[in-house]
Amino acid sequence: MANAHSRPIAPHLSVWRWHATMLSSILHRATGIGNYLGAVALVIWLVLLATNSEPLVGFLFEGPMEWVTRIGLIALTWSASYHWFNGLRHLAWDAGTGFDPQGSNLRSLIIIVLSVIATAAIWFAALTGGAS
């Protein structure tokens, strides 16, 4: 029987050097949770619309709550776009490509930047009526 002190110790965060793929993995999990919560919030909003609860719906889109609602929708847009782009990378990984560390870190950064650009483009189009 082996001594308990001779067993290998699992790596800890203090052992690993921080890299973009770690951030990407954490963000993928966080955006999955965010997308779930955002979907629940959107369903509640749709139920309020369907049940003619106009005072509650108006409360969300007028006055001080307008900015809270808009920030939440922008965050949900970013969360969905990030999760979608990173999901494409996971599909590539499932196909057996893109595992090289340097390329994976670069693709992680590209995905983060693309999600910010996609969110900005979606909201620019929404606020300007799609005119460019």
Domain positions in the chain are 19-93+102-127
pLDDT, position 47:
93
- For residue range 97-113, what is the model confidence (pLDDT) as tens digits? 999 999 999 999 999 99
Helix (H) or strand (E) run with residue 107 in it: helix 101-128
CB neighbour burial string for 101-121, b if at least 16 within 10 angstroms, e if fewer: eeebbebbeebbebbeebbee
The SS3 of residue 123 is helix
Entry pTM: 0.83
pLDDT, position 3:
61
Contact in structure between 35 and 83 (CB atoms under 8 Å):
yes
Which class does domain 19-93+102-127 fall in? Answer: mainly alpha
